[in-house]
Amino acid sequence: MPILAANWKMYKTIGEAKAWLDAVAGAPGLGQAEVIVFPPLTALAALRPKATRIALGAQDVGWADAGAFTGMVSAPQLRDAGCGFALVAHSERRRYACEDDPAAARKIAALWGAGLTPVYCVGEDAAERASGQGEARLKQQLDTVLDALSGELGGRLLIAYEPLWAIGSGRPATPGEASQAAELIRERVRLCCGQAAAHEVGVLYGGSTSPATVRGFMDEPQIDGLLVGSASLDPRSFLAMLEVMVDA
């Protein structure tokens, strides 16, 4: 089943989140794709009772299960709030919250420990891309984390390729570029964790996706789904993306 994930970032009040879910909840395409929404934490409780065919996720997670960590929310707490997923090391967390690869590895382990699925975000920035260092950056982000996890998957893992130059820029990667990155991701997983793990890992593309670009990405066999930011906020464009995805 293809995966369509909505990252709302720091958008939507509780009322707006409920209205979005009301608009999306009856869509026939829901049964044919795995749909995951990453709302702000404040909206989780309101969405939970109605999110029957939509999975809920958090945009970040603490690496410890409990303790004196002001401002953090742990994986068991997220599970308690109805989350099945969490984003890890989204580029905006890397940029604004100094998140690094070792912290990402701890967060992934914490999520697996609580039975949640991490969506680990990787991607190079414009300067790395321009200087031909894009692949090296991806390898570093992947290898540091996979090595720290002792080369073993402790649960389901999704990896999102989200090049920084594409996020929020209106200029997505081409399906070919995204597919090449997805291939590299699977290759690193294979080298660190074995063939079965490389087969099982789900690879998403994210960065300025829109209804017009869904089909191109989903035509690439290496890409299992999309992580959508701004185009997910309006239920109409999100539903348009879902329609194309389940049709593809």
Active site residues: 90, 162
State the nearest-atom distance from the C-beta of 241 to ligand PGA, in Å.
10
Examine residue 228 and tell whether it contacts ligand PGA (CB under 6 A): yes
- Show Cβ contacts of residue 96 under 8 Å, excluding neighbours closer than 6 positions: none
173 part of the interface to ligand PGA, by CB under 6 A: no
- Position 169: which residue type? S
Cα-Cα-Cα-Cα dihedral of 57, 150, 221, 36, to 10°?
A: 0
Residue among 173, 152, 169 at smallest CA distance from 161: 173
40 binds ligand PGA (CB under 6 A): no
Among 74, 117, 141, 208, binds ligand PGA (CB under 6 A): 208
Binding of residue 227 to ligand PGA (CB under 6 A): yes
If one asks whether residue 101 binds ligand PGA (CB under 6 A), the answer comes out as no
Task: Among 57, 76, 118, 207, indicate the residue that binds ligand PGA (CB under 6 A).
Answer: 207
Phi, psi of 56 (to 5 degrees): -105, 145
Candidate segments 139-147, 177-185, 202-210, 235-243, binder of ligand PGA by CB under 6 A: 202-210
User: Least CB distance from residue 162 to ligand PGA, whole Å?
Assistant: 6
Residue among 162, 184, 188, 245 that touches ligand PGA (CB under 6 A):
162
Instruction: Please say which residue, 10 or 98, places its beta carbon nearer to ligand PGA.
Output: 10
Q: Which is nearer to ligand PGA, 198 or 228 (CB)?
A: 228
| 7 near ligand PGA, rule: CB under 6 A | yes
Q: Is 167 in the site for ligand PGA (CB under 6 A)?
A: yes
Q: Which stretch binds ligand PGA (CB under 6 A): 46-54, 72-80, 181-189, 203-211?
A: 203-211
- What does the binding site for ligand PGA look like in residue numbers (CB under 6 A)? 7, 162, 167-168, 206-209, 227-231
